[in-house]
Structure 1
Amino acid sequence: MDVAAVHTFAWRNATKIPEPLLRGLFTAVADVTWLRHGKSVRRMEDNYARVRPDLDAAAVRRLSRAGMRSYMRYFREAFTLQGVTPEGLRARVRVEGYDEHVRPVVDGGGAASLALGHLGNWDLAGAYGSQYLASVLTVAERLKPDALFEEFVRFRGSLGIEVLALGNGDVLGSLIRSAKEGSRLIPLLCDRDLTSTGIEVDLVGHRARVAAGPALLGLEADIPVHAVGINYERLHGARRRAAGTPWGIVITFYPPLPVPDAGLPRDERVRLLTQGWVDQLSRTIVEHTHDWHMLQRVFVADLGPARPRTTRGRETG
């Protein structure tokens, strides 16, 4: 299967399909995938069981069905996001904590390093942010084939999101320079270690490896670090009609993390900041577990033999 061609076709044609029909199609795909109980679904359930020890196996299985529906909802929305009107975009998003914790910095000409998880719809959040909050710059893992990545970058660019490719030169240096330009949000997906150079942390009572990017950027650029949680919520009444869909998202900006003592070793400062945003993001993961689209290994116990780790180099998120 030509994955790039499939994604390109979806991005260019999904908006032509009536939303209720498309919603039913992606729900059916989610349910069939869940019923097949393949490797990805089993990994999702293993991750869910770790962060929700209060649930028995049957409850985790039910939760994974909601998780697959949430995951497929993300894809459906991503493929049609370019067709959403400004009014529809505003209706789909509710923001908490931005005015208190981030707006004063951005309005004052500063930037913020944002630690995101694979939660809710981060593309929708980025599109909203670029339109209504501040310029958005992020980093993405280079997808294969190259044609797919190029289409992906064009897609995010159409939403107003600037993308740097992980592995293309000094990404951290580019982020630092952009942060110093000011009035910019820099969200980094970082709840799993993409480059084998992550930081080991405690995630809801279990050791996990996550990306060092948000902490490194915060320290090197001297900007605040915030966790940002994203979860779905049901829409009703006028807001649902304006959104054109029964689902919206809530973007929660957590308070800025305290900067670790400058006298500590650099690696320790990175570790402390990273554990800080993980603790914040864990609240959203536990409260909205089915919106955590984590179908890969993230916990140390699932990763096999230990791999070399460092907080230096090109790791960004």
Structure 2
Amino acid sequence: MRTSPRERLSDALYGLGWSTVKKLPEPVAQRLGRAIADAAWKKRGTGVLRLEANLARVVPDAGPERLAELSRAGMRSYLRYWMESFRLPSWSEERIREGVVVQELHHLTDALDAGKGVVIALPHLGNWDLAGAWVTTELGVPFTTVAERLKPETLYDRFVAYRESLGMEVLPHTGGTAFGTLARRLRAGGLICLVADRDLSASGTEVTFFGEATRMPGGPALLAQQTGAALLPVTLWFDGPVMRARVHAPVPVPESGRRAEKTSVMTQAMADAFAEGIADHPEDWHMLQRLWLADLEERRP
């Protein structure tokens, strides 16, 4: 399959990031990330404008100046994610352990100790790759995740190799086999982690999110129903030099109703947990794409 010049450029830039940024002293990488973020913010490109439009729903009382402040902080947070991700393969185990502070961890450890499978569902908050590295390093628990099939294929391969180097098993989002593999991992008492605040299939479960309709993946709820695994929403945010995480209480499976009805109730509960974390730390929500149905319908014609 032929690749476009833009795809080849993206692959080259990501390759440069993983090969070069990880060699920089940490203060230099941090300054570089802030400089790139500020330049992108000042350019007012599509991503920045979409981020502000999304944040306007999260912080409805914010005026233009406050939204501009949040979007600038959001771009700095987003570039911090990338700078940390490029450097993660070179971090020591001690650096990873010290870089994350987790609240209410007992929700996760209790389920694992009971021999249950666990589905961790996260929004695009903070640095989910760092959170995964902390799980494999601090808890010694391997886990399985799903990655969007990026173009070109070489770029997807880079992401798979990067996440596998952090101790993750990575399955492709497309191809139809991921769900069955995830279910088998859970029935064996395993852990899976899914970023789940944006539906990539256009057939997700409709939820109300910050007062408006959108769709989120129903997979986490379906997996919990079918395997008996615990569904745990997790939210992340940056706090100075560390990242903090909160493991929310398990989402219960409704006692009655059809599978689709149970999935709807559970996915809404997951979305509510995401909304709580995003509302508390809107500057760390890296959503630079259209999310709500009203925005998606605008683009369709």
- Name the TM-score class by shorter chain: over 0.9
Q: 2:71 aligns with which of 40, 64, 80?
A: 64
In the alignment, structure 1 residue 302 sits paired with structure 2 residue 295 = yes
| Pick aligned residue for 2:267 from 269, 274, 278 | 274
1:290 is matched with which residue: 276, 279, 283?
A: 283
Question: Is 1:111 matched with 2:104?
Answer: no
One-letter code of the match for 1:289? P
Aligned to 1:254: 248
Could you list the per-position Cα deviations for residues 173-200 of structure 1 after superposition, in whole angstroms to 9, with x for gaps in the alignment?
Answer: 1100011111x32111110111111111
1:35-184 paired onto structure 2 within 5 Å = 35-99=42-106, 101-133=107-139, 134-182=141-189, 184=190
Please, what is the CA RMSD of the aligned residues?
1.4
In the aligned structure 1, how far is the partner of 2:163 from the partner of 2:232?
22
User: Match for 1:277: what amino acid?
Assistant: M
What's 1:237 paired with? Answer: none
Normalising to structure 2: TM-score of the pair?
A: 0.94
TM score, norm. by length of structure 1: 0.89
Residue 20 of structure 1 aligns to a residue in which SS?
helix
Question: What corresponds to 1:224 in structure 2?
Answer: 230
Equivalent residues of 2:116, 2:228 under 8 A apart: no
Q: 1:56 deviation in Å?
A: 1.2
- Is the 1:176–1:217 contact (alpha carbons within 8 Å) kept by the matching residues of 2? yes
For 1:253, the aligned partner's letter is V
The question of whether the paired residues in 2 share the 8 Å contact of 1:118 and 1:191 is answered with yes
Amino acid at match of 1:186: I
Equivalent position of 2:3 in the other structure: none
Deviation at residue 54 of structure 1 after TM alignment? 2.2
Q: Which deviates the most, 215-224 or 270-279?
A: 215-224
Cα distance between partner residues in 2 of 1:301 and 1:73? 30
Structure 1: runs of 5+ lacking an equivalent:
235-246, 308-317
> Could you tell me which amino acid in structure 1 is paired with residue 138 of structure 2?
Y
Task: Give the Cα–Cα distance (whole angstroms) in 2 for the partners of residues 141 and 176 of structure 1.
Answer: 19
Distance (whole Å) between structure 1 residues aligned to residue 124 and residue 112 of structure 2: 24
Deviations 1:21-77 (A, max 9, x none): 221111111001101111111100010000111211210111000000000000000
- Cα drift, residue 306 of structure 1: 11
Equivalent pairs, count: 292
Identity fraction in percent: 40
Residues in 1 aligned to 2:74 and 2:264: alpha-carbon distance in whole angstroms: 30
Amino acid at match of 1:255: A
User: Per the alignment, in what secondary structure is the counterpart of residue 297 of structure 2?
Assistant: coil
Offset of residue 13 of structure 1: 2.3
